[in-house]
Structure 1
């Protein structure tokens, strides 16, 4: 998969790859080095590091780390060997495998490591949320993501437990495209991510990371990877977020990058939805009430709809909670309390079930929280 050595700009890219593998050397430091070398990083490969690092405009800690590297070329070779060992590709800005939308953002990494086959350009939406949402929400998130993907829109998320992973599965259920940006190197996956990877590779998904081989996830890597999730997408949708959810970083990154930001409203008594409700209240996100609104946000008009699998029905594609709530409803509007009394669901689970039914086009909500079958 790694084809850097055959490129005509081999020396330039080898220098870039080696420098990117040095801890603490980020996009801004690279720009200073480019200016220092008059736009020719390849000049740094041709001589030992100790001969040029003293005059380079770099922080002292970065210089010290560079002095541990005799030559950039040897470091680039080691990185490429580790990539090849796990089937990891390297995508530089401007190459087809590097997300075009991301390349246009401030602080975009000069290269990405990836596993999978990057497909053709398309509209994509970041769909993110809490690792531990309220009961019954994950089936809804998976169904909603599947419906978005059925229109041909790619789903981008972070492969984290909870809502992120449910959205990836929803995209794969539809036979659609899904990308995951990770907070670790691709050779340092946690057990759950490693288990999910074969499904991605078999169904056209892609794992991305800006981190070079050997870097493990930490509390600092996750917030930074959120800017990549937003940057690679045409819009950001926060499905479920508490007041301190990490997915709010993705929403903030989307706002900074000029992406439309949407949030799914939740019950005001549900602390797990407090972050989404606050985004809407403060004008930082538009309320999202349908799949069609997601399509409009990314500027897309569906060209295809993937039908349910043969032998399945719309009932089978609903969560257990949504099917139970649907049985209680009728063509006469009923209040939330009436539906709650007729079901065996908690108020939070019923709220999620009713939202799922509304988004599936099976239920209409009238003013005053009255619900009616379509």
Structure 2
């Protein structure tokens, strides 16, 4: 039998080594993978010896090597990063842990960890809603109302907290106390004034701020495009609400296509420059048209009657019956037939049917035609 205490200690050491290396500027997911391979599959092995003993041979760019050479040990760097997080109230979600967006796990170039503020809620369908910072006059109230309808249906609203459409969509979700996620292009202790003003409303009404950037990193022209892959990757689909030519929202659409996420766009008047990007996505076949909140909810597999209640507390899992919890564990993100689930379950057909109905009513499972069930 494995020594549980030893396994836990090794896991903790691996996380701290990951945190330390992630704090080195210029060291991204692919470079981190190369460093892990150099260390024989475990970064904690590097943490056990001084950096000077291995920095000359580690496969990283010269600039990263110089920054590493200035560090005495990974343990010391991890401690400094943890202290910086504690000072700003930041928490760390490692890939595979409950607070880490599950849709990001396994994606190419996904960060090994995220810093966050807030309380990520239960599993649910999520829609990225993005758009221009400066849409045409009168569009922002429409965007807010549209997002509110999506949130009322139990769909999580994901965006970037940028001025304009992004922020209007967040507010739509916040209006009804629903969960909304914002992926920032800066560290969470280096917010711009508008994001800092929005943060208390997020934390009070069910929102979460995420960033892959360690404490102290300010936004730049490179960090914003990078974070767009997280907005799309954490979502089940992407809706471009309004985008002119060259809008940053189009980068999110491109990331979604690369990740295999469905892309939708709201069509706009052909004479309206603020809608030119959306219309181009539709004309080129890179996006499908969306004309209502109800239609986009159907796309991500949410029925308003079966929606996850907004603002549900952290005891949602304990509130389920033992049978429902067991059935949930047998499902995944690809639809499975009732017979497939039954074959893997100790429950009788009647008990399994009851458990699946409970999961549907809780918004945790979607039933497709032919009695096929999918975890949200």
TM-score, reference length from structure 2 = 0.79
- Summarize the alignment of residues 1-374 of structure 1 with structure 2, pairs less than 5 Å apart: 9-303=11-305
SS in 1 for 2:270: coil
Whole-angstrom CA distance in 2 between matches of 1:157 and 1:205: 11
Cα distance, 1:7 vs. partner?
Answer: 6.1
Whole-angstrom CA distance in 2 between matches of 1:169 and 1:97: 22
Whole-angstrom CA distance in 1 between matches of 2:39 and 2:298: 45
Check the 8 A contact 1:243/1:275 in 2, yes or no: yes
Per-residue CA shift, 1:105-157, capped at 9, x if unaligned? 11000000000001011000000000000100000000000001110000000
For structure 1, which runs of at least 5 residues remain unmatched after alignment?
1-5, 308-374
Whole-angstrom CA distance in 1 between matches of 2:118 and 2:177: 15
For structure 2, which runs of at least 5 residues remain unmatched after alignment?
1-7, 310-376
Q: 1:7 to 1:210 in 2, by over 3 A?
A: farther
Cα distance, 1:207 vs. partner?
Answer: 0.1
Check the 8 A contact 1:150/1:304 in 2, yes or no: no
Cα distance, 1:291 vs. partner?
Answer: 1.1
Q: Say what the alpha-carbon RMSD is for the aligned residues.
A: 1.4
Q: Which residue of 1 aligns with 2:358?
A: none
SS in 1 for 2:117: strand
Whole-angstrom CA distance in 1 between matches of 2:9 and 2:122: 22
Per-residue CA shift, 1:303-356, capped at 9, x if unaligned? 35799xxxxxxxxxxxxxxxxxxxxxxxxxxxxxxxxxxxxxxxxxxxxxxxxx
Q: 1:240 to 1:12 in 2, by over 3 A?
A: same
Rg (Cα) greater in structure: 1
SS in 2 for 1:55: coil
Q: Which residue of 2 aligns with 1:344?
A: none
How many residues align? The count is 302
Whole-angstrom CA distance in 2 between matches of 1:305 and 1:169: 19
Runs of 4+ in 1 over 6 A off after TM superposition: none
Cα distance, 1:302 vs. partner?
Answer: 2.1
